[in-house]
Structure 1
Amino acid sequence: MLNYKHLHYFRTVAKAGAINRAAEKLHLTPQTLSGQLSAFEQRLGVALFRRSGRRLELTDAGHTALTYADEIFQVGAELEDALQNRAAAPVRPFRVGIADVVPKAIAYQLLAPALTLAEPVRLVCKEDRLEALAAALSIHRLDMVLADRPLPSTMDVKGYSHPLGECGIAFLAAPAVAASAGSDFPANLHGAPLLVPGEDSALHGPLLRWLERRGLQPVVVGEFDDSALMSAFGQAGAGVFPVPLSTAGEVMRQYAVVDLGRTLEIRERFFAISVERRLSHPAVVAVSEAAHQRFQHANDD
């Protein structure tokens, strides 16, 4: 049987990155903690750490073990909370995987309706690549995955992709960059510095093909997997950057950037991926219904 004290020691070391720091938190000597870790690795039959300079790095097996450890202790905290608050209404967890290419503002907009249900839920968000999230969904460790594409048919995972909606694209830039580019859209993109989503984004290919069809040749100065980081570079004047129309107003206010132009010829699409053919989880249903209304309004504006 798994030794949960050893699991706790392992998790603390993994978070701290070093035996000495973890030993201080656990009020153990480094020698004792090192011995406990060795016993845990022997029990599992795998190495969980490898040394990199003065730090300890997780092996592939260690990353897997840490994922499970986090969930085990999270469930333990839920159990403790449930027992201590038996008189209170139970709070249903809503575990959502968010593909790392989905803009953070979009993720918030899509998930916010789940927090206003009559039956309260506790939102638990996990961000990762779509492949890893789909695997977690398949073993029911997630209730839903938010993605910018349907579940790939090449993946050996049974799931259903429910369209949430789609919207056009706005091109934003810092005021100085916008002034230099001019107001003749989309010609103002020609020769302008451009920031684009990374290759994992479903928007990457369609955006570049649209520019090519239009005969536009901006100077691509950066690719970003994280849309918030791309917006920060755009705010600093590094270049023009695309955002979904549904979040354009919010991004303009937050980053003090301006609108160079908009197009419905490029569409960014979003999906809720579930193991259910027909949605039944109340929070997933709320997300789906609110999303259709939001994207309809965004495209009409």
Structure 2
Amino acid sequence: MPLNYHHLRYFWAVAHDGNLTRTAQHLNLSQSALSTQIKQLEERLGHALFERRGRQLHLTEAGRITLDHADAIFSAGQELVATLQETGNTRQALRIGALATLSRNFQIGFLRPMLARMDVEVILRSGSPTELMEGLGTLNLDVVLMNREPPSDSLAPYETHHIAEQPVSIVGSPGRFEPSTPIRDLLREQPFILPTTDNSLRTAFDAMASRLSVRPQIVAEVDDMAMMRLLARENIGLALVAPIVVQDELSSGRLVEADEHPQIKENFFAITLKRRFPNKLVQELLTGHPAPQPKSRSANASPDAL
């Protein structure tokens, strides 16, 4: 007997809500009718999907497996509708999520090919890693830009693309330091504006200071590149940043770069979701080349020739 997908959707709704009565109200069903539908699904699958603890429903092991498959099934359906609804549109949408603290200059440089196209609408949202990965998983985002790799999860069908690598410099106001000063002396003499301790750049900086047997003065720990740039411009201290973050200030001479580089690199990643109907603009963005187009049927070709 084939699976009844109405029953599966009812189970899916209850599993995500965790409350049978509330779900029945949302679905405009009686609680008994909803219970009957789930009971029929359990009979079809041969396993109990919920166990009751007090007033709360909790998934059994079979229920967890069923929910994973239901998530994939209904997500694929939403993806299909969203993809096919855009077929034939003259203006295509590319939904991009970016870490809220990611360099705006890097984002603009990376997205410039798409921003220059009249047939593409770029929808850019910023957020925390958790918010962005959730947006990717629910298909509200096509690609996420980060300067760190997402946590590994064997159950999540994510793909991580390394898209850029940039050396990091020490920058500050011209009157604060001489660019030719060795890094060891800068660490001893100058206050530093650094990324927070959960940042890979900070980890590399701390390791460098340890190798040089120096304990630098840290005047500020910042997780926002825009704020770090502002603090450096206000002469609060020397900042550890990729030059692209402060390219305007370096060009104008408002900030200068130390001659000796700390040999630290910042990596940038694009995170995508494995999709049955991927947005072809994502491939173009990642490769820099148009995605291959399906061959169109020749006006003179017969059906048998296809």
For this structure pair, what is the TM-score category when the shorter chain's length is used for normalisation?
Answer: 0.5 to 0.7
Structure 1 equivalent of residue 221 of structure 2: 223
Structure 2 equivalent of residue 189 of structure 1: 186
C-alpha offsets along residues 77-113 of structure 1, whole Å, 9 cap, x if unaligned?
A: xxxxx9xxxxx97321211110123112112211112
- Which one of the candidate residues 183, 199, 202 is aligned to 2:200? 202
- CA 139–120 in structure 1, closer or farther in 2 if over 3 Å, else same: same
The one-letter amino acid paired with 1:196 is L
The one-letter amino acid paired with 1:258 is V
| Root mean square deviation, CA, Å | 3.0
CA distance in structure 1 between the partners assigned to 2:154 and 2:224 by the alignment: 24
Deviates more, 1:125-134 or 1:277-286: 277-286
Offset of residue 219 of structure 1: 0.8
Please say which structure displays the higher CA radius of gyration. Answer: 2
| Counterpart contact for 1:172–1:261, Cα < 8 Å | no
Offset of residue 277 of structure 1: 8.0
- CA 131–211 in structure 1, closer or farther in 2 if over 3 Å, else same: same
- CA 248–282 in structure 1, closer or farther in 2 if over 3 Å, else same: farther
Unaligned runs of 5+ in 1: 1-42, 45-81, 83-87, 291-301
The one-letter amino acid paired with 2:193 is L
Identity of aligned residues (%): 22
| Counterpart contact for 2:183–2:262, Cα < 8 Å | no
Structure 2 equivalent of residue 158 of structure 1: 157
TM-score, normalized by length of structure 1? 0.60
Structure 2 equivalent of residue 99 of structure 1: 99
CA distance in structure 1 between the partners assigned to 2:277 and 2:183 by the alignment: 40
Structure 2 equivalent of residue 142 of structure 1: 141
Structure 1 equivalent of residue 109 of structure 2: 109
CA distance in structure 2 between the partners assigned to 1:97 and 1:254 by the alignment: 31
Deviates more, 1:88-97 or 1:160-169: 88-97
Unaligned runs of 5+ in 2: 1-24, 27-84, 289-306
| Counterpart contact for 1:235–1:256, Cα < 8 Å | yes
The one-letter amino acid paired with 1:143 is D
- CA 144–194 in structure 1, closer or farther in 2 if over 3 Å, else same: same
TM-score, normalized by length of structure 2? 0.59
Offset of residue 255 of structure 1: 7.6
Higher helix share: 1
CA distance in structure 1 between the partners assigned to 2:232 and 2:144 by the alignment: 28
CA distance in structure 1 between the partners assigned to 2:260 and 2:287 by the alignment: 26
CA distance in structure 2 between the partners assigned to 1:164 and 1:90 by the alignment: 28
Structure 2 equivalent of residue 125 of structure 1: 124
CA distance in structure 2 between the partners assigned to 1:263 and 1:204 by the alignment: 15
